[in-house]
């Protein structure tokens, strides 16, 4: 059941979608339409944005988020990135410290990319906020970059006091690429986003959330070189294959390696958390959106790290409380340095290794 916060701030109406893509940069108040509910088709590779299309006024160089034990924390930023087949391949996910993935609507997943220690000049395509992404962003003290939101997303963003850049409200930060069709053509820069939020006095500061990094983090007792995650009863599936040479789990979607649009590099990291949660369609929702029970809840967890697996659990007391990732003994999970992927999956999901 989708629950709104007590006495939420007024939820802005959703403006009609623009019939044609606008040239970048734009401060349009247009909210892109939500894709109609359908299972994933076999995706055709969408063209990557060209250098001209994704150019930003500054010439900053990307700095990858490494989640190193001694990494300096920047003002935390959470960017909502879509995963509709027409939005692939995405740009900039490889520079995030943490990437969450879970369902958004109609069996289509969505990412929340957390930039804690690094930056990316291009991230996207940017999409709309959900209330459970607001819960996650709040754990890190992260400001959110998105285009529109669900009614609960707007309400919880306000209730949690999140700093924001929302194109649908006329905020800066997002531009449109002419290399892709709308609405899958919205991009942002974390450099510009942090500058815009600071200039508005809108920056929260940030924190590490549930993360504890330890170069000596223990391995699981059971080998897990290949992992397949099915979001049953929805048809979507992802896989991770451990590569000893690179020290990462290489990520695949629908049987194809997940690559960055800018340089073609494969995505993945040394650790993948699978967090089981109650995910259910919101009754009578015309967008086939889902509710995810992340607050006042807990459950099973799997940590895949450096080719091994270990069982654990998670718990989160309230929307603004940090999630606790715990090992089998109830102690906080210690994670290897490097990019972390977090898959929030239905209770009925199947995970094979």
Q: Are strands 308-316 and 222-223 parallel, antiparallel or unpaired?
A: antiparallel
Based on the fold, state whether residues 299 and 195 are members of the same structural domain: no
Q: Are residues 226 and 335 in the same domain?
A: yes
The whole-angstrom separation of Cα 341 and Cα 63 is 18
Longest CA–CA separation in the chain, Å: 55
Residue 162 inside a domain? The answer is yes
Q: Are 102 and 344 in contact (CB under 8 A)?
A: yes
Asked if residue 326 is part of any domain, the answer here is yes
**Structure pTM?**
0.83
Cβ neighbours of residue 303 closer than 8 Å, sequence gap 6 or more: 220, 271, 272, 273, 274, 309, 310, 312, 325, 327, 333, 335
Residues 177 and 275 in one domain: no
Residue 43 lies in a domain: no
Residues 253 and 182 in one domain: no
Exposure pattern of 117-138 as b/e (b: 16+ CB <10 Å)? Answer: bbbbbbbbbbbbbbbbbbbbbb
Q: What is the span of the domain harbouring residue 180?
A: 68-199
pLDDT at 25 (0 to 100): 32
Residues 306, 251 share a domain? yes
Same domain, 176 and 271: no
Pairing mode, strands 77-82 and 143-146:
parallel
Domain presence at residue 293: yes
**What is the helix (H) or strand (E) element at residue 253, kind and residue range?**
strand 248-253
Query: End of a domain among 140, 165, 199?
Result: 199
Per DSSP (E only), the strands in 77-216 are 77-82, 98-105, 108-115, 143-146, 164-166, 174-176, 186-188
Taking residue 215's Cβ as centre, other Cβ atoms within 10 Å add up to 10
Of the candidates 83, 92, 84, 133, the residue with the CA atom closest to the CA atom of residue 112: 133
- Together in a domain, 195 and 248: no
Q: Based on the fold, state whether residues 339 and 288 are members of the same structural domain.
A: yes
How many CB atoms are closer than 10 A to CB 46?
20
Distance CA 15, CA 177 (A): 21
Mean pLDDT, each 10-residue run in order, the chain (353 residues)? 45 34 32 31 39 43 65 93 96 96 95 95 97 97 97 97 96 94 96 95 88 92 97 96 96 94 94 98 93 96 97 95 95 95 98 98
Q: Are residues 195 and 236 in the same domain?
A: no
Helix (H/G/I), strand (E/B), else coil: 55: coil
Clarify whether residues 160 and 275 are in a common domain. no
CATH number at residue 326: 3.50.90.10
Residue 78 lies in a domain: yes
Beta carbons of 132 and 15 less than 8 angstroms apart: no
- Are residues 182 and 252 part of one domain? no
Asked if residue 27 belongs to a domain, the reply is no
Q: Quick one: pLDDT at residue 67?
A: 75
**Partners of 126 in beta bridges:** 81
**Domains held by the chain: number:** 2
CA angle 190, 252, 353 (to 5 degrees): 125
CB 25, CB 162: distance < 8 Å: no
Angle at 294 between CA 336 and CA 164, to 5 degrees: 85
What is each CA distance from 65 to 7, 72, 173, 228, 280, in whole angstroms?
A: 37, 10, 20, 25, 32
* Among 238, 305, 250, 300, CA closest to 275: 300
Q: Kindly state whether residue 189 falls inside one of the protein's structural domains.
A: yes
Has residue 55 been placed in a domain? no
| Nearest alpha carbon to residue 210 among 107, 325, 103, 127 | 325
C-alpha torsion sign, points 216, 222, 228, 230: negative
């Amino acid at each position: 059941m989708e629950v709104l916060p007590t006495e939420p701030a007024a939820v802005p109406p959703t403006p009609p979608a623009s019939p044609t893509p606008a040239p970048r940069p734009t401060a349009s108040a247009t909210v892109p339409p939500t894709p109609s509910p359908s299972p994933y088709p076999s995706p055709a590779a969408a063209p990557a944005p060209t250098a001209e299309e994704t150019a930003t006024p500054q010439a900053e160089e990307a700095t990858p988020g490494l989640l190193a034990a001694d990494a300096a924390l920047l003002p935390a930023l959470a960017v909502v990135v879509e995963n509709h087949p027409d939005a692939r391949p995405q740009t900039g996910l490889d520079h995030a410290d943490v990437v969450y993935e879970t369902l958004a609507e109609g069996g289509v997943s969505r990412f929340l990319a957390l930039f804690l220690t690094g930056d990316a000049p291009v991230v996207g395509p940017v999409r709309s906020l959900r209330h459970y992404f607001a819960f996650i962003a709040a754990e890190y003290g992260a400001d959110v970059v998105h285009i529109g939101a669900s009614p609960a997303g707007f309400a919880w963003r306000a209730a949690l006091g999140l700093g924001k850049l929302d194109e649908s409200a006329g905020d800066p930060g997002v531009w449109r690429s002419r290399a892709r069709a709308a609405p899958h053509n919205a991009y942002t820069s974390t450099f510009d986003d942090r500058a815009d939020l600071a200039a508005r006095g809108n920056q929260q500061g940030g924190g590490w959330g549930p993360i504890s990094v330890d170069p000596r983090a223990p391995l699981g007792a059971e080998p897990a070189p290949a992992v397949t995650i099915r979001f049953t009863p929805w048809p979507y599936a992802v896989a991770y294959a451990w590569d000893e040479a690179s020290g990462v789990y290489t990520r695949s979607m629908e049987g194809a390696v997940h690559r960055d649009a800018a340089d073609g590099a494969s995505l993945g990291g040394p650790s993948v958390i699978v967090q089981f949660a109650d995910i259910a369609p919101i009754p009578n929702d015309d967008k086939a959106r889902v509710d995810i029970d992340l607050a006042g809840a807990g459950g099973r967890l799997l940590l895949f790290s450096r080719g091994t697996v270990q069982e654990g659990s998670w718990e989160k007391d309230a929307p603004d409380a940090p999630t606790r990732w715990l090992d089998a003994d109830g102690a906080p999970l210690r994670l290897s340095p490097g990019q972390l992927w977090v898959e929030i999956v239905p209770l009925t999901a199947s995970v094979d290794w």
